[in-house]
Structure 1
């Protein structure tokens, strides 16, 4: 613990403010944390926060921007997506599930997912972010995937939007189960557990729609 604290203390002040803020926001919620508390945990004066961030809202904006960048970075390149698609729907979904879970499965990202789950109900900015980045865009992306699979005669003709909701709704269920209902419980490996359950759900769906 002391070693970790020493490592944190040699990081740039702005990064330490970011990390401490994320830790506190993910534990207590955005509104329950004051700039004074952040400064105290970082070990600096409250006024020093404003040398790096305009206000507490700006710290939240930086966290959201970081989250977006990480999600974008961890997606599959278009060329790799096409190659996977050509190997069949089972391979594509197996890799797709792993990519999704890996996006969640880092300590920093876990804290942000937790923060999003806390704040979605009463924070307008987080709610809009959730709707656009974590619901509408993924649903549209999976709709395009199912449409492509139909064009390649891999699956039966269905409404691709409906299939996208059917597939992605289970991923959202896992998100809420872990980050809201069971966040404090001890998991040997959330990634292994989630991949196994996503795999079973995918097998069930493909069994119904595959040609």
Structure 2
């Protein structure tokens, strides 16, 4: 087996195990067994289990920075892609939810962070950053731009962003626990976004629709 491929298989097997039973409960023997190699062979790729976790976090962060809309949006510079209508916002958010739920690495990494946030301070910080701070910052910036452009009425943008995004976070967590409810959640997200726009759009737009 190619050394490079073996290293990646170790990472993938480790992430799968960490996302189900946690870092501490997973042994090097289990990881080696999942890959189909001896423990000695695994140690030729990684010094120890912590080194595997460090490599996983680095890999997940790189993927997050590349693909997550929450990590890279700058509405001041990217106003052409601003979702100015409920339909545009629904399409954008549903696309991100599908990515979060169905990309194997991102889905497993999120589940790992849920388990490890109470045991590993560094992973707790990462969990807060990815699932709260970055998300709230992203939507606060979005709301501010929509207010400036007259799409939404002026109000406290951080509170508005909280009202917009936190129910969606709860529904994503629900899908993690009960995947068969994804169609129901997607419908709820669409209704939620459209109602948000109705509640906060300027009154003049009521008569234009």
Q: For this structure pair, what is the TM-score category when the shorter chain's length is used for normalisation?
A: 0.7 to 0.9
State the Cα deviation string for residues 184-208 of structure 1 (Å, max 9, x = none).
xx52x83x44332211111121111
Unaligned runs of 5+ in 2: 203-209
2: CA distance, partners of 1:200 / 1:103? 20
TM-score scaled to structure 2, two decimals? 0.82
Aligned to 2:107: 110
**CA-CA distance at 1:96 after TM superposition:** 2.5
CA drift at 1:122? 2.4
Contact residue 146 and residue 164 of structure 1 kept, 8 A: yes
Show the 5 A alignment for 1:17-166.
17-75=10-68, 81-85=78-82, 88-104=84-100, 105-166=102-163
1:209 aligns with 2:206: no
- 1:71–1:103: 8 Å Cα contact kept in structure 2? no
Aligned residue in 2 for 1:5:
none
1:196 maps to 2:172:
no
TM superposition shift of 1:81: 4.8
Calculate the aligned-residue CA RMSD, in Å.
2.4
Change (3 A) 1:54 1:197: farther
Tell me, in whole angstroms, the C-alpha distance in 2 between the residues paired with 1:27 and 1:72.
24
Unaligned runs of 5+ in 1: 1-8
Structure 2 vs 1, CA of residues 100 and 194 (structure 1 numbering), >3 Å: closer, same or farther? farther
Do 1:39 and 1:49's aligned partners in 2 also have CA atoms closer than 8 Å?
yes
Give the C-alpha shift of residue 162 in structure 1: 0.8
Residue 48 to residue 16, structure 1, CA distance change in 2 (3 Å):
same
